[in-house]
Amino acid sequence: MGARVSGRVAPGRATKPDLDLTMLARALRRVLLIELIVYIAFGWGLVHDAGWTTLAAGTFVLGFALAIRALGIALTFALAERYAGAKPPGNRIGFAGWLRTYFAELGAYIALYTLLQPFEALFTRAQRPCPPAQARLPVLLLHGYICNRGFMLPLQRFFERHGLTTFSHNLEPVYAGIDSYCDGLARRIEEICAATGAGKVVILGHSMGGLAARAYLRQHGAARVATLITLGTPHHGTALARLGAGENASQMVPGSAWLRLLNQHPIAIPAVSVFSHQDNIVSPRDSAALAGAKLVELYGIGHLTMAFSRRVREIALREINAVS
């Protein structure tokens, strides 16, 4: 499936909008609306039946909503730590480091799932692409599981401020098999090359997005891709995928037949695998290490926080500039 172009404006043909680009966004907005209705009804009951003040009821309801999210994020860290495997030397970040990592991940979750992804159409503009400046290659950003292109907005804005031409793409249907995204990726890459005049693109994939990129390379070859950068991608699966829904989640379970087949095909282009030893979704953590790729190990960064981390942004920018 395609997506609307996000790149610098220049004269030319605008890319056709993708009718399916808000599939997940619509679902997230419905969930937020239902939650809002429930909380309003709960708060109304506290005021009219229990005699609470409006301020007290509102504060309690808001605190409850935050507590639910905080508990969910804490559970992901606990489960990831349970299956983390052997810890490398230097892996200890201390209690204060864990607190920073946890609250950064909680903040990232709130920003992504209450604003950027449900309302991604408000932040992502349909634009006419132009050739990249200084012959730098265009960058295609791919999100992960139960996400949409809104996830990549923080990275996208950072790259554009540093002169890169970036594009996004929605991997939908949300719970489909990962191989089903390959033809849509092939069309998207051809659109980008035709629109910018570039012969190749750089693909940067977060989480499942990196697996979708590898599946594309296996099916369609590497003629159009200069390099692949993966952020927190479970190249060998993650134990937490057992809790997920859909065919793509089952494919990301460690030892799955799909992963075994994928890993029988070594990466045929330069690749960079960026991962964190405090990732709260990919566990074991070394599952994110891609054989044959340049490995960049980080500490104190959660799974969703990668979209906001300055360290991650600067590493990715450096690798993109190197290949360009």
The structure tokens 């799955």 sit at 256
Confidence at residue 86, expressed as pLDDT on a 0 to 100 scale: 74
Confidence at residue 193, expressed as pLDDT on a 0 to 100 scale: 95
Helix, strand, coil tally for the chain in percent (to 5): 50, 10, 40
Confidence at residue 173, expressed as pLDDT on a 0 to 100 scale: 93
Mean pLDDT for the chain overall: 89
Element (H, E) at 22: none
Which ranges constitute the DSSP H helices of 197-256?
208-220, 247-251
Instruction: Mean pLDDT check: name the lowest of 5-19, 33-47, 203-217.
Output: 5-19
Mean local confidence (pLDDT), 313-324? 93
d(CA 84, CA 90): 15
- Reported confidence tier of residue 134, pLDDT bands at 50, 70, 90: low
- Reported confidence tier of residue 7, pLDDT bands at 50, 70, 90: very low
Confidence at residue 204, expressed as pLDDT on a 0 to 100 scale: 98
What total of structural domains would you count in the chain? 1
Residue 171 predicted with pLDDT over 70:
yes
What is the number of other CB atoms lying within 10 angstroms of the CB of residue 135? 8
Provide, rounded to the nearest whole percent, the portion of the chain with pLDDT above 90: 82
Contact 201, 216 (CB under 8 A): no
- Reported confidence tier of residue 90, pLDDT bands at 50, 70, 90: low
Tens digit of each residue's pLDDT (9 = 90 or more) over 205-248 = 999 999 999 999 999 999 999 999 999 999 999 999 999 999 99
Predicted TM-score (pTM) of the model is 0.89
- Reported confidence tier of residue 87, pLDDT bands at 50, 70, 90: confident
d(CA 184, CA 266): 22
Classify residue 228 as exposed, middle or buried by CB count within 10 Å of its CB (0-12, 13-18, 19+): buried
d(CA 135, CA 111): 34
Mean local confidence (pLDDT), 100-116? 97
Token representation of residue 164: 């890169």
Structural domain that includes position 21: 1-324
d(CA 75, CA 279): 13
Which ranges constitute the DSSP H helices of the chain?
23-48, 54-82, 94-111, 120-123, 153-161, 182-196, 208-220, 247-251, 257-263, 310-323
Confidence at residue 136, expressed as pLDDT on a 0 to 100 scale: 84
Token representation of residue 231: 């952020």
Mean local confidence (pLDDT), 121-140? 70
Kindly report the backbone phi and psi dihedral angles of residue 230, in degrees, each rounded to the nearest multiple of 5, phi listed first.
-115, 140
At 59, which CATH number?
A: 3.40.50.1820
What is the number of other CB atoms lying within 10 angstroms of the CB of residue 186? 15
Q: Is 197 left (phi over 0), alpha (psi -120 to 50) or beta?
A: left
Confidence at residue 14, expressed as pLDDT on a 0 to 100 scale: 37
- Reported confidence tier of residue 131, pLDDT bands at 50, 70, 90: low
d(CA 69, CA 80): 17
Output the DSSP codes for 177-209.
Answer: -GGGGHHHHHHHHHHHHHHH--S-EEEEEETHH
What is the number of other CB atoms lying within 10 angstroms of the CB of residue 194? 12
Instruction: Mean pLDDT check: name the lowest of 121-135, 218-232, 292-306.
Output: 121-135
For the CA atoms of 49, 53, 59, 65, the dihedral, rounded to the nearest 10 degrees, stands at 10
Residue 183 predicted with pLDDT over 60:
yes
Residue 5 predicted with pLDDT over 60:
no
How many residues make up the chain in this entry?
324
d(CA 226, CA 95): 41
